[in-house]
Structure 1
């Protein structure tokens, strides 16, 4: 594979030469394994959401303590990626993912046997550190095999497949809870981790020894500073990061805006939330079809412009109360749906110039994305006043920031309608 990529993600990219790597198994099997790895972030939380009240009752803990099991997971997941990326660049992809999956299994078993909220939070951090290895290195494996727009296309396909997890997770988790109790949910995650570990070894190593980073892990971690100094990488990462801030503001703020403020029944809230996931799946499918023709940077510009426009409309609706519930839900659906044109192209664009550091770059981008998500959800909580205003403010700012970040991708170019 060439060590130098085209300077623009708008170039049509061919699959990378993998002659030095073991022949790949059928494409569907590779997609299935990579999708499973990338889906660990979703299944680790979505499956147990319906059980959170039952867990609180068993532990005698208040809702805030149980909610920290989600926050603890996100913190571990965000920071853990910064470790696994350089490890994957130095030692290959499969071994670090396997170790991470074992940590995930241990963490899930610890959650199942926890006797208090504090224990649960601790084991959730362990679970997250293990889970993020698969997510960050699955993205790097895509970069090992594909370049530029083709890599963004494959990421879109994977994200579309893994989007099924948020749709089915709460439903399946609710059924497990009703039949066998909340601890069984975590034993199911143990089984999922072991099954994925077995499936991992049906996919060959994608990073041959001669292409691995020979620097020490310490040097690689210190190298994050140099990566952050790259304007293009930072622009791509920030475009997705701002958008993630808006998405996590949506996740944190809509239950209160819909249920408490607009008095939407809890059952209907689940339907409204699922519509957003469907929108994400549709736009990811659109992206996978168009990205190799139009280029990932062009589509990213269009997607971030759409996020800015819909975010501004959401901000106006929140400030004026215009349109009430249905205007807010419609505009939020539009904002969330831009994910399919933003996330994969943000990751693909950041990865394109660093074939030898794909793991570290994937980790850095993932940490920026999830770290921004934590900031977005925290901002909604800090600014909450009992109305949808905080939610709409954070999403409005996030949309503007996502589009504005692309100034770093193309210094000196005007990012106006003519460039879309």
Structure 2
């Protein structure tokens, strides 16, 4: 399947300060879902103790949001193709703020997990609309570059959020963190209302009738390369989500780090993820995107395997877990931007719906995989290392199958 003709070039979409403002605004908006997760991470043990919950039930407050994000995108995606990008985005931001307020007053762990599912559903509008907006304006390597640059802002969430969350816990409790998310959601809603223009003109909008939506979904699901790329993104994200969901328990409970020390470790590894995302535009200017992804996956897999070996031998303490996991995150920074660039390049007409399928598989896979760490155990780094390794092995196998489709080599490299 060939890509649809480009409707707007990178230079036509925005120039100079307009381009910078667009990247910053999209990055800040895209940062809301990970910020909703990462700001809360240092408080997980506190939530467990305060609400008298188990580790697995506490992790459901993390995975519930991921599942909500996955399911919600399947609804918001075709809706944004039909009514435009702005209205679903603004509604999602306001709904997210409302869910944050309700989370702040949740009486028990079951209600909190349900509200986090609601928060994920509302955050799905942000995730899918922003990705569709990028596809409306860019394609090919231009799209991969802006996603990588977008991650420069997005990565500030995991860099700053755990440290900020740790500092907030010095003055408030976990409920105060959700009150903070309420304020952030309202500020972003105001920014989107004032500064983000509609990117999907009326003449390019699709029908929202169930038969038309079902036909569009069927067209995408028949594209084996697209589904393979979506699963690669999902499995790679699962490695990240399992780390995010279990790292606070592993480093704080298992290795005895303080909330502030954990925030530092988490921030350093987030910087490595950021470095990989910023190296990506340099690499894809020289090599096809698929080649960059395959090389990064291999290095990440070797690092994950080394984490397993070190954990089995109880070697290196917290550094023995943090260093190889940091390398894994560095390589993932070179995979995640390229996955949607390759996949959405094939479906520009149904960008919202295609972005929804991508996001659903990514969030859904992460939401299903992350609890495995809690089920196996979070007192050592071994279960987390094993889950990350397995996810990268499966992603690598799919990458090699995908590479047989010669069309994926069209994007990236000197001739692109």
Q: Which residue of 2 aligns with 1:70?
A: 62
| CA-CA distance at 1:275 after TM superposition | 1.7
1:217 Cα deviation from its structure 2 partner:
4.7
Alpha-carbon offset, residue 318 of structure 1: 4.1
Partner of 1:133: 125
Find the counterpart in structure 2 of residue 30 from structure 1.
22
Q: TM-score under structure 2 normalisation? A: 0.86
Q: Tell me the equivalent position of 1:246.
A: 239
CA–CA separation in structure 2 for the residues paired with 1:222 and 1:270: 46
Query: Shift of the alpha carbon at 1:168?
Result: 1.6
From 250, 270, 280, give the equivalent of 1:277: 270
Q: 1:287/1:175 Cα in 2 relative to 1: closer, same or farther (>3 Å)?
A: same
Q: What is the CA RMSD across the aligned residues, in angstroms? A: 3.1
1:15 and 2:15 matched: no
How far off is 1:347 after superposition? 1.3
- Structure 1 residue 89: Cα displacement: 1.1
Q: Kindly report which structure 2 residues correspond to 1:184-263, keeping only aligned pairs within 5 A, or say none.
A: 184-201=176-193, 202-217=195-210, 219-221=212-214, 223-263=216-256
Distance in 2 of aligned mates of 1:305 and 1:263: 31
Name stretches of at least 5 consecutive residues in structure 2 with no aligned partner: none
Contact 2:86–2:198 (8 Å) recurs in 1: yes
1:243 deviates by 1.4
Tell me whether 1:352 sits opposite 2:345 in the alignment.
yes
Question: Could you give the per-residue CA deviations for residues 61-97 of structure 1, whole angstroms, max 9, x where no partner exists?
Answer: 5555443322221221121111111111111111111
* Equivalent in the alignment of 1:4: 4
CA positional deviation for 1:311? 2.9
Q: Say if 1:308 and 1:382 are closer, same or farther in 2 by CA, change over 3 A.
A: same
Per the alignment, residue 48 of structure 1 pairs with 40
- Which residues of structure 1 form unaligned runs of 5+? 7-12
How does 1:14-413 map onto structure 2 within 5 Å?
15=10, 26-55=18-47, 59=51, 64-201=56-193, 202-217=195-210, 219-221=212-214, 223-264=216-257, 267-319=260-312, 326-384=319-377, 387-411=380-404
1:327 to partner: Cα distance: 4.0
1:46–1:200 Cα change, 3 Å: same
> d(CA) in 2 for partners of 1:34 and 1:128?
18
Question: What is the rounded CA distance, in whole Å, between the counterparts of 1:24 and 1:86 in structure 2?
Answer: 32
* The 10-residue stretch of structure 1 (183-192 or 163-172) with the greater mean CA deviation from structure 2: 183-192
Between the two proteins, the alignment pairs up a number of residues equal to 405
